[in-house]
Chains A and B, each alone.
Chain A
Amino acid sequence: MHLTLTHFLVVGALLFALGLVTVVTRRNAVGILMGVELILNGTNVNLAAFNHYVVGGVSGQVFALFVIVLAAAEAAVGLAIVLTIFQSFRSIDVRLADTMRE
């Protein structure tokens, strides 16, 4: 059985599901950011696969490059926030950072 669109969509779906599992179950803020990266990677695989098998051209790859750029920005800001939270709470357990509740 040769490669088809479905192969890549299945890999993208698995990446997305595992990233969602990471985001939902982690208590460590850095772990949650890793899950977000996995989700964005699953999306990128889908974009590149649809670009290759359905649309043609390079628009899908351009979209994937924008996603990569924004993911890098998100990681930089997210990790700076995590470091600031660690400064004030001495921990990055997301359950402990609840002073803004109510």
Chain B
Amino acid sequence: MNRTFSKLALWAFLALLVALFLGYFITRVLPDYLPAGRAVPPRLGDLVFYACAAATVAGAAGVAFSRNIVWSCIGLLIALLGTAALYVFLSADFLAVAQLLVYIGGVLVLILFAVMLTNRIGEVNVSNQSLGLGGGLAVFAAVAPLLMLVAVLVPWPVRPPGPMAPTTARIGDEFLSTWLLPFEVASVVLLATLVGAVVMARKELKAD
């Protein structure tokens, strides 16, 4: 286990070095050698976006196709982190932090607990069976191209986005004015959820 993690850390470090080098090369070195005024070199922020998007999609693919449920969990972690980074690009800072706190701090830990409590950890290779690569790839081939085609072809009524600004204060205002009723309903839903989860967990303890 220890060796696996050190190998993982080494690969992550190498990938970071390669990404940094590529970013530096494309943004700072390459433009000097390109004929002026022909191609627009990508900005550094765009490259960071592409890296985050690639990490997100790779993590999601790990969740979908990994044979081992613990690797699926780690893929989910990477996908959630990448999504939080994407929110920053959309100037949704509060959303990014909420994603980190709720998803990675809460939901992912819950899922890991469930994995540890319900699987025979010793034989985790058989713990994540699926219909196989064929069926999964068929579903993917049916859904993904359609959605991406819609995203690319539809002329969305885009307006120039405003400058990046903190949104937390405005979100608080909206929660306590426009969305007050849904906000309170969400609190009641959370309370009911927690009570329900505790009731089920108590049953489980009684049975032992």
**Chain A residues in the interface with B (C-beta under 8 A):** 1-22, 24-28, 30-31, 33-35, 37-38, 41, 44-45, 48-49, 51-54, 56-59, 61-62, 64-66, 68-73, 75-77, 79-84, 86-87, 92-93
Contacts and interface: CB of A to CB of B under 8 A. Distances in A.
A38 B79 contact: yes
A53 B158 CA distance: 6
Contact of B72 (A8, A17, A34, A87): A34
Contacts of A13: 144, 147-148, 150-151
Interface of B: 40, 42-43, 45-46, 49, 53, 56-57, 60-61, 63-65, 69, 72-73, 76, 79-80, 83, 86-87, 89-92, 94-95, 98-99, 102-103, 106-107, 110-111, 113-115, 117-119, 127-132, 135-136, 139-140, 143-144, 147-148, 150-152, 156-159, 161-162, 167, 170-171, 174-175, 178-179, 182, 186, 189-190, 193-194, 196-197, 200-201, 203-204, 207
A54 B69 CA distance: 38
Given A21-B139, A76-B194, 12 more contacts: A3-B89, A6-B152, A13-B147, A13-B148, A13-B151, A48-B95, A59-B174, A59-B178, A61-B92, A61-B94, A64-B92, A76-B110
B57 A11 contact: yes
B95 A79 contact: no
A32 B197 CA distance: 19
A82 B79 contact: no
